[in-house]
Amino acid sequence: MSLSRWFRSPRYLLALFLAIMLVLAATLGWLGWRLLEQDRALESQRTQERLDNAADLIAASLLHTFSDTKDQFTRLLASSDPELAARTSALAGQAAGTALLVVFRPQDVDAYPPGRLLYYPFVPTEKEPPAKAFEAGEVSEFQQRDFAKAVEVFRELSHSQDPAIRAGALLRLGRNLRKAQQPRAALEVYNQLAQLGATPIGGLPAELLARDARCVLLDELKRTSEVKGEAATLYADLHNGRWKLARGAYRFYEQEASRWYTADAQLQAHEEDAVATASAVELLWEEWQRIRRGEGAAEGHRSLWIVGRPVLLLWQARSDRLVALVAGPGYLERQWVSPLQPLMDRQGVSLALSDADGHSVLGQLSATPPRQALRSSAETQLPWTLHVVSRDPGAELSQQRNRRLLLLLAFILSAAFVLAGSYSIARAITRELEVVRLQSDFVSAVSHEFRTPLASLRQLSELLADGRVPSEERRQEYYVGLRRAGERLYRLVETLLDFGRMEAGARQYRFELLQTGTFFRGVVEEFAQEARERGYRVEIAQQDHLPCVQADREALARALWNLLDNAVKYSPQSKTVWASAVCQNGQIAMRVTDRGLGIARHEHRQIFKKFVRADSAEAAGAKGTGLGLTMVQHIVAAHGGQVQVDSELGVGSTFTILLPSAKE
């Protein structure tokens, strides 16, 4: 085939169509992939925007709370001393015991709510009696070692009007009674001393000294359970800030109490919190000294990391006073972050705070969050770095994955649709091409079929017309030849017309009760007569008393004739064909057998389709239209029967018409 013809051929068009469809499917796939990529980028951008937006809102809100607190501090600083105490107390009350407010003055430190500060960075010294007041007693005690005398002197002094002298005397009295081996009397004296409460002795509260001395005494007296009880209450009072102590004193007496009492884990953790707060207050005190020297900023905030805990300091100072908030994570959580909860819920985010050294102040800091918005303290003017992350990144991810999967599925489906569509169109085209080919074969076959009888008609009629027939006998022969050719043409035309009617669904059958044996023999013998002239022999075998069938005589005869004709046509070597009719399983079987070309197994079904011819027939050059078997099958099906083929290539074929026998 030349190139230009090939380009116009249906096969080229088919290839072109398939190529276009393939390109279309590939483009669709590529577009889908691009869309997925874009969707992913868009989604992550959207998430980032949401986080950024939430981070800005949170930062603004926290800053607002900060400036509110600062305003309150400004008002506190401006108020008078009694007012300051009352207001600070009230403010600390609002903090619900989760934070500490401290007020520094040059010679004083106050903490609110009271009893929450373990120890103080500065404890003012109160005026105490001169040491001379106790000189006489101490000479007896230490130089003469006359404890009885010393007891006398100090007992005298213990009735003094001055509580400071009374306290000093009672302490010394107790000590001397102990030395004088009168522990019970000493215990009694310490009890009295304890009544004097915060009265200072050498800068320490009388009560603290008395209770510690009682513990020591009880221990010496081996009154174990009592000493444990006393130590426990001493520990608790120290812990609850009953006295204003400096750090050294607090530590010393806490250790004293711990000699007889061990705090449980919960209390210890609580104490660690309190130690963190107290240490932060100490640092703040140092800061204040700097502020007073003009070195520090009068207003500020800082997030500290003390004993493994975050502490927030927020302060404002004047030359003569400083007000500060000292808060742990609990306060931050309750007072500042909780009000943000609705906002965070709406945005589906959660918040974590970290200090300048990267310690986690609040919330969980994930090492590698899938996506987060960071706001540094430099940006926000807050003491922390804000980390805003999606609350449920897993759910978000799976949502995204699902959407992507859906999109992918849609694309796969459309691509599959395009491919399946193209495949079926291509198949339809191939089939049409095949039909076109078969039809053109059919036309040439039909022309050929017509040509042979027409040629005989022309030849014989010419001879007869010209009077060139030598004898009457020969003339008679020619007439028979003319009749055969006519009949063949008639059958051919009838076949084509019948086929046309069948295709249009307009073929009508006229059923009648047929004597099968008579009918079968009639058709086969008529065919045998014609076949004899073509040099063939037909052997008939027929069962006696065959049941009748309901059939259209003419149609059934044509079907049988077709099979017989094929047997002869496709049996060029073996000149005998066999026809038999039997009754088996209540069915009539009419069989036509030959020892001819045979049909390959894979073509057994195909040959019943219109225009289809077996390769063996084509190879042998046998002519035919490919319509005969189609019609046979149509006719037999209309009779409620079926056609069977049993054939082997090069061996021969048997075609069987099976018909239901008529009920009498």
596 binds ligand ADP, rule: CB under 6 A: yes
User: CB under 8 Å to 612, separation ≥6 — which residues?
Assistant: 438, 606, 626
Instruction: Kindly state the smallest distance separating residue 598's Cβ from ligand ADP, in Å.
Output: 6
Is residue 592 within 8 Å of 577, Cβ to Cβ?
A: yes
The residue from 141, 212, 355, 594 that contacts ligand ADP (CB under 6 A) is: 594
Is residue 95 within 8 Å of 331, Cβ to Cβ?
A: yes
Q: Which of 315, 421, 424 is nearest to 70 (CA)?
A: 315
Q: Which tokens hold the place of 604?
A: 């057994």
Q: Which of 634, 637, 628 is nearest to 659 (CA)?
A: 637
What phi and psi, each to the nearest 5 degrees, are found at residue 109?
A: -130, 130
Choice between 326 and 557, CB closer to ligand ADP: 557
Choice between 298 and 492, CB closer to ligand ADP: 492
Choice between 335 and 653, CB closer to ligand ADP: 653
624 binds ligand ADP, rule: CB under 6 A: yes
- Applying CB under 6 A, the span of 116-124, 145-153, 536-544, 561-569 interacting with ligand ADP comes to 561-569
Choice between 481 and 628, CB closer to ligand ADP: 628
* C-alpha to C-alpha distance for 661 and 659, rounded to whole angstroms: 6
The residue from 54, 109, 551, 597 that contacts ligand ADP (CB under 6 A) is: 597
Instruction: Kindly state the smallest distance separating residue 655's Cβ from ligand ADP, in Å.
Output: 6
Instruction: Kindly state the smallest distance separating residue 534's Cβ from ligand ADP, in Å.
Output: 15
Run of H or E including 587: strand 587-594
Instruction: Kindly state the smallest distance separating residue 448's Cβ from ligand ADP, in Å.
Output: 11
Near ligand ADP in 626-645, by CB under 6 A: 626-630
Choice between 375 and 634, CB closer to ligand ADP: 634
Choice between 566 and 656, CB closer to ligand ADP: 566
Is residue 316 within 8 Å of 301, Cβ to Cβ?
A: no
Q: How many residues bind ligand ADP (CB under 6 A)?
A: 22
567 binds ligand ADP, rule: CB under 6 A: yes
Instruction: Kindly state the smallest distance separating residue 536's Cβ from ligand ADP, in Å.
Output: 13
Is residue 206 within 8 Å of 171, Cβ to Cβ?
A: yes
531 binds ligand ADP, rule: CB under 6 A: no
Q: What share of the chain is helix, strand, coil (3-state, %, to 5)?
A: 60, 15, 25
590 binds ligand ADP, rule: CB under 6 A: no
The residue from 72, 88, 176, 566 that contacts ligand ADP (CB under 6 A) is: 566
Query: Sheet harboring 360-362: ordered strands across?
Result: 360-362, 349-354, 385-390, 372-375
Choice between 311 and 627, CB closer to ligand ADP: 627
Choice between 281 and 631, CB closer to ligand ADP: 631
Distance between start and end Cα atoms, the chain = 64
Choice between 88 and 653, CB closer to ligand ADP: 653
- Applying CB under 6 A, the span of 150-158, 323-331, 480-488, 559-567 interacting with ligand ADP comes to 559-567
Choice between 218 and 560, CB closer to ligand ADP: 560
Going from the C-alpha of 574 to that of each of 208, 384, 526, 562, 645, the distances in angstroms are 138, 108, 20, 18, 19
Instruction: Kindly state the smallest distance separating residue 488's Cβ from ligand ADP, in Å.
Output: 13
Q: Which of 631, 630, 658 is nearest to 549 (CA)?
A: 658
Going from the C-alpha of 15 to that of each of 22, 424, 505, the distances in angstroms are 10, 14, 36
The residue from 278, 617, 636, 657 that contacts ligand ADP (CB under 6 A) is: 617
Three-class SS string for 612-654? CCCHHHHHHCCCCCCCHHHHHHHHHHHCCCEEEEEEECCCEEE
The residue from 373, 607, 635, 638 that contacts ligand ADP (CB under 6 A) is: 607
The residue from 171, 327, 614, 658 that contacts ligand ADP (CB under 6 A) is: 614
User: CB under 8 Å to 107, separation ≥6 — which residues?
Assistant: 122, 124
Which residues sit at the interface with ligand ADP, rule CB under 6 A?
A: 562, 566-567, 570, 594, 596-599, 607, 613-614, 616-617, 624-630, 653
